[in-house]
Each structure stands twice: as C-alpha cells, then as structure tokens.
Amino acid sequence: MALGRKLTAVTAAATTLAALLAAPAGAARETIDWKPCPTAAGVDCGTVTVPIDWAHPGDGTIQLALARRKATDPAHRIGSILMDPGGPGGEGAGEVQDGWTLSPAITARFDTVGFDPRGVGQSSPVRCGLTEVTAPNPQLPKSVADFRRLTARNQALGTSCAKTTGPLASHVDTTSVAHDIDAIRAALGESKLTYYGTSYGTLMGQEYAETYPDRVRALVLDGTMDHSVRSTWEFLSSQTRATQEMFGQFAHWCATTASCALHGQDVRSVMAQLYSRAEHGTLGTPDDPLDPVALLGMITHAFYGPDWSGLATSMVNLRDGKPAESAFGDITVPTAFSSIFCSDWRLPVSGYGELETFRRSLGAIAPDIRFSPLAWTSATGCLGWPDTVRDPQRAPGFLGNLPVLLLNSRYDPATPYSWAQHVSRQTGAPLLTYDGWGHSAYFKNSDCMVSTTDKFLIDGVLPARGTHCAAVTPGPSKSRMDGPTY
C-alpha cells in the first residue's frame, strides 16, 4: 500500500502496524472455548475475538464463528486445517457443521476447522435494509436511465448496509480477513497455518501468504482467483471466455451422449431461443419470468458440478414451458457479497455507453452465453457503491518458495484456468491441473487430484511442475453454493 506521507511518518506507522499484526503470535494469544455445536453431532463450536479495524484495535471488536471436527486418528494427528468455501459470503463454520471435509486421509490426521469470515454467517453478518435489497435492480441496463437507476440502487443498498451494520460494513475486505486468519491460527495453537481455500477463499490464502510468509505450513488454493486482473474489460472477458468454452464442452457432451435430453438436437439453437425469450420477458412463468441474467445464472450454476444431464433436462423444460427450477434451486446472492467484493475490486465503468460496449463485445467472443453472469453482476453491483475500495487489485505478493499449491480445473466457469496460470507464473507456485470440468478441482472424483493434494498437506511434498490429472466423466451433482459465486 502506497502512503503519500513523509518518510519518518511512514516508518513510524509501519513499525506500529507491524507490531500490531504480529500480536496474535505473542504470549497473550486467545484460546478457544470449544463446546458441542447444538445442531451438529460430533462438531465443536467456538469463537475468536478480533478488532473491527486492525489498524485501530481500540475501536471495537467482533467474534468470528468457528466449527471443528476432531481428527479421527488422534495418535497421529498433525494439527488443524483451516478451511474456507469461498463466496464471498461462504460460511466455513456452517459448511463444516454440515459435513464439509477433505478426504479421509486428511480428516484422520487433522482437525477440520471452518470459519465464517467477518461479516458472514455467524461472524457479525452484514445486514442491509430489506427495501434496498429488494428494490428494482436493472442489472442489464438498456438505457442511460437504466444505468442511473442501477448506480442509484447500489448506492442506496451500500448506504443501508453501513447504517444497519455499523463500522464493520466498511471493514470486510480480504486484507482484514488475512489478519483474522492469523488470529485463528494462533488461537488454535498452531505455529504455522495449514489451509484449504476454494474460489474466493484462494484470495484469502494468497493475502495470508503475502502478509505472513513465515507462518505458512501448507496452503492449498483451489479454483484460483487472480487479483492482478486490472481492467474491467479483462475481468469481464476472461470469465466470459471461460463460460463460453464450458458451454462448448456441454454441447459436445450432448452431441456424443445418448442420455442427454438434447441429444441429436442443435443445442446452440435451443440456447439462442431461450435467450431471446428471456430478453422479451416470455421465458419462465408470468408470475416469475426469467430475464437474461437469471437464465445465464441458472446455466452457469449447472456448470459448477458440472451437472450436464440436469442442465439439458432443464433447458428442454424451459423450452417446452415446463417448470425447470427443481434442477437448479433458488438463485440467491448473500447480502454480504457486494460489501466484500466492492471492498476488494476496483472495476470502473464510465457510463452506459461503455457498459453497452462491453456487453456487445462480450457477445462477440461468446455467441452462446453472451456474458458471464457472475462477472457481470459482480462488476455492475459495485457501480455507485458508496464505500472505499480498501484492497484493490495488485500482483500477488508471495513467491513460490513458500509451501503453496494451486489447483484448477481446465474448464472452470468462475475462476478461469487462465487466472490460475497467471498466478502461477507471477509467483512461481506450482499449479496442479485437473483436465476436466467444473468449479474448483479437489472434489471432482479424481483420485489423482486428491492423492497429490493430500501428499502435500500431510508430508509437504509438492507435485512436479506441470502435473496434470486426467478428467473424470461427470455425473449428476449439486454445487454446495446456491448460485453462481466465487
């Protein structure tokens, strides 16, 4: 972070901040009062107290919610592995209570610990006004007036979040979360951090490695965020290309798989029909029509598993006017999403003209999908947001001599493979590639991915650079998240 101050002031501030951020490893570290979780058998719940503002610890504190499943082989226990499911807005403590773990080899040797990041779940959640949350939201503006309504809605929503939540709403950035993670590490009694983060959780891991390089035991970053993506166009286009590529893989699967509900049909033509009807407000039901953003959100969600069979069936049902919602579930976005995302990303758009240029250009590179709904709504959701971007994009600040392993699927609609390649090139961290489909790579039924990752977590052995694991034909699956998210 560049501070335009005199050298003496910078030196004094840096010394004070360094001392503050080192505090969790000191003698006064907090311990966790673990107690059985009331709604999850065999799981312990606890909390860790952290400052709202790490630079001003006297300005109030919050408690971070934790959940722990103890190692099943305590005689050979290595320590704790901290896990985050991404989002932003994913509830790690809640996921662990619901049974989220890594392989039996890992759960035998490690306590599995999930945490709800600040502003999420049971960790002082960001709350916003219902009126502002449910206000009309023209996510795909068709005019200058629509663009103004979009930015005004975002500004009103952000203002309501700050008013309802208080100071924490302005301190949910990922840099703050990295400091929280170190407080958790210390409270767990671990001298160094063992961590598995997926999707947005990989950004937390990267910033932890940057801030506390000497406290890293083993970090697995699965579905890698690239926080060095500088421009709005690069952010939108990289995810759109990845989503279009995924659609091509789906179309090929339907063409070669007799069980596909669209086998023998022109999948791209069906997609074009659905999109046209969504544009004209005639897709779905009169009470619940699907606009283009909702349609693409449904399709992208099916790509996460991926669940190609369910997607094909739902596309047929939508085309034929039958209910299709059961295949996808409700598409929801956690209330904390924009508060967190807009603290971490600066993605400016000068006005309606530039946004419309982006939309048309994305359609040219993705004729079937048109645009990535996740990238589009993430970027447009920050237009007019009233809070400061506290943790804007920059090149990753850790090097590959640290024990960090990147994982990524070759075909990932949310965290493109190109992002993982770029982070690997910038840092030197090895990238383990799953040559298959879906968001993240560890949970794709690949023995190669699991065993290679587990060997690193248990023994510290990194795979050779350029290691690939073969694709496994996907079957029916359901993403843990409710809708497209990181």
- What's the confidence (pLDDT) of residue 124? 95
Going along 41-137, which residue ranges are E strands? 44-51, 61-69, 79-84, 110-115
Question: What average pLDDT does range 380-404 have in this prediction?
Answer: 94
Average pLDDT of the chain to the nearest whole number = 90
Amino acid at the residue 172: V
Name the pLDDT band for 477 (thresholds 50, 70, 90): low
CA–CA separation, 30 and 124 (whole Å): 19
What are the residues whose beta carbons fall under 8 Å from the beta carbon of 123, sequence distance 6 or more? 62, 63, 64, 65, 93, 115, 116, 117
The model's confidence at residue 285, banded by pLDDT at 50, 70 and 90, is confident
Answer whether 372's CB lies under 8 Å from 239's CB. Answer: yes
Q: Is it the case that residue 470 has pLDDT exceeding 90?
A: yes
Pairing type for strands 193-198 and 110-115 reads unpaired
Of 66, 36, 85, the closest CA to residue 184 belongs to: 66
Contacts for 182 with CB less than 8 Å, ≥ 6 apart? 21, 24, 25, 193, 208, 211, 212, 215
**Choice between 244 and 329, residue whose per-residue pLDDT is larger:** 244
For CA atoms 337, 340, 343, 344, the dihedral sign is negative
What pLDDT is recorded for position 144?
98
Q: What is the pLDDT of residue 483?
A: 60
How sure is the predictor about 288, in pLDDT bands with cuts at 50, 70 and 90? confident
Cα separation, 433 vs 448, in Å, equals 10
Q: Is the N-terminal amide bond of 306 cis, ω within 30° of 0?
A: yes
Average pLDDT over residues 253-268: 97
Q: Are 115 and 84 within 8 A, CB to CB?
A: yes
Element (H, E) at 234: helix 232-256
- Please tell me the predicted confidence (pLDDT) of residue 236: 98
For 25-163, list the strands marked E by DSSP.
35-36, 44-51, 61-69, 79-84, 110-115
Q: Residue 24 — very low, low, confident or very high, per pLDDT cuts 50/70/90?
A: very low
Residue 29 pLDDT > 90, yes or no? no
> What confidence tier does 476 reach under pLDDT thresholds 50, 70, 90?
low
- C-alpha to C-alpha distance for 345 and 337, rounded to whole angstroms: 12
The arithmetic mean of pLDDT across residues 348-357, rounded, is 98
Q: Taking residues 321-330, what's their average pLDDT?
A: 55
Locus of tokens 């990295």 = 178
User: What digits encode the pLDDT tens for the residues 294-313?
Assistant: 999 999 999 999 999 999 99
Q: How confident is the model at residue 430 (pLDDT cuts 50, 70, 90)?
A: very high
* Average pLDDT over every residue of 56-77: 97
Mean pLDDT throughout 260-279? 97
**Helix or strand run (H / E) with residue 437:** strand 431-437
Picking from 330, 412, 408, 414, the residue whose alpha carbon sits closest to that of residue 372 is: 414
Contacts of 473 by beta carbon, 8 Å cutoff, 6+ apart: none
Q: Name the β-bridge partners of 49.
A: 63
Burial 256-271 (b: 16+ CB within 10 A, else e): eeeebbbeebebeebb
Higher pLDDT, 26 or 33: 33
State how far the Cα of 136 lies from the Cα of 149, in Å rounded to an integer. 8
pLDDT of residue 361: 98
- A 10 A CB-CB count for 340 gives 26
Output the pLDDT for position 328.
Answer: 43
pLDDT in tens, 100-147: 999 999 999 999 999 999 999 999 999 998 889 989 999 999 999 999
pLDDT surpasses 60 at 7: no
CA distances from 391 to 2, 63, 130, 214, 343 (A): 12, 22, 27, 22, 6
- DSSP-assigned states of every residue in 158-188: HHHHHHHH-GGGG--SHHHHHHHHHHHHHHT
Neighbours of 460 (CB within 10 A): 11
What is the model's pTM?
A: 0.90
The string of DSSP letters for 340-403 reads HHHHH------SHHHHHHHHHHHHHH-TTT-S-HHHHHHHHTTTT--S--SS--------TTSS
pLDDT given for residue 406 in this prediction: 98
Rounded Cα distance between 477 and 309, Å, is 9
CA distance 303 to 300: 5
User: Sign of torsion, CA 298 441 189 216?
Assistant: negative
Question: Which tens digits make up the pLDDT trace of 408-419?
Answer: 999 999 999 999
Give, in order, the Cα–Cα distances in Å from 454 to each of 24, 107, 341, 480.
28, 10, 30, 21
Tell me, what's the pLDDT at 327?
41
Residue that wins the pLDDT comparison between 328 and 71: 71
What mean pLDDT comes out for the span 137-159?
A: 96
Residue 284: predicted pLDDT:
87
Residue 69, φ and ψ in degrees, nearest 5: -110, 125
pLDDT at 377 over 60: yes
User: Within 10 Å of residue 39's Cβ, how many Cβ atoms?
Assistant: 10
Model confidence at 400, in pLDDT bands (50, 70, 90)?
confident
Q: What is the largest CA-CA distance in the chain?
A: 72
pLDDT at 324 > cutoff 90:
no
Mean pLDDT of 356-372: 97
Token pair of 268 as six digits:
């791209």
With pLDDT > 70 as the criterion, what percentage of the chain qualifies?
A: 90
pLDDT in tens, 184-234: 999 999 999 999 999 999 999 999 999 999 999 999 999 999 999 999 999
